[in-house]
Structure 1
């Protein structure tokens, strides 16, 4: 299972998407959600130490890793990955770059109010397509 979250300023959740294997259920446990939100503190610490937007793995547990990407406007992209592989980091970086491009189109839209939840179905569909394409080897159908 992969969970992608966009977190805006003041830790406001803006968007969430899940990518699951065909045999998994669409359920994020409370401990998984806690791990994702706890990783925000790690991201805030690493932002000051690293000028690159892709922060790599910022937190982990015995079954998952969390990768992060920070935009110039300090919006955080978080990716929770269960059962990571050796290729997960490079796939996460590619995913984040594509998502950032899509996110830029949203925030440049004059009808989008900054730092509010992203509810556009076209955005959701695009993110899910990017995720399924990027992680196709990880998420067999």
Structure 2
């Protein structure tokens, strides 16, 4: 499973981006396996899901919005902060099966996804995955609060802190 995580500011500008893979034993080494064209497409897919996030955020009182969108083999989860900053996590169970340039091809079958194993990361629609993503988002939110409380941080500016990046990576290894 490969992940693309981004934080979107109040002006729909990206504040932070990170890609990583599954770190669970027997499932991966923590390296994202996105195809070459996925770098730009992941950004596009996540920003396209912002409209759905803005619709869903008014229908619930929770900050964690769960899965808000799917596109081909990608699942997008969202978390909204009190300041309307959006945490977006794109999950792709098998990036090698995702052909961004070929829209006529059918999505991979559930049978091919089941062959990847019964681990948590192999099924992006399971309740266990939802809980893992909720835990990841909660831990990143705590790190985010510490980051924005820094008096030298400007609102809606890119986060370049290596400490923050390290905390996001540690949360990804722990939960995803």
- Structure 2 gaps of 5+ residues are 22-27, 94-123
Distance 1:26 1:129 in 2: 24
1:10-56 C-alpha deviation (Å, 9 max, x unpaired): 10110011112447258534333221110111001111111110001
Matches within 5 A, 1:1-141: 1-20=2-21, 21-22=28-29, 24=33, 27=36, 28-83=38-93, 84-86=124-126, 87-135=128-176
- Structure 1 residues 104-141: Cα deviation after superposition (integer angstroms, max 9, x where no partner): 00110101111100001111111111111111xxxxxx
Aligned residue pair count: 135
After TM superposition, the runs of 4+ consecutive aligned structure 1 residues lying more than 6 A away are none
Q: Which has the larger radius of gyration?
A: 2
Report the alpha carbon displacement of residue 75 of structure 1 after superposing the two structures with TM: 0.4
Unaligned runs of at least 5 residues, structure 1? 136-141
Quick one: higher RCO (CA 8 Å, sep 6+), 1 or 2? 1
Q: TM-score, normalised by structure 1?
A: 0.88
- Taking the aligned partners of 2:71 and 2:133, their CA distance within structure 1 comes to 17
Superposed CA RMSD? 1.6
Q: Normalising to structure 2: TM-score of the pair?
A: 0.72
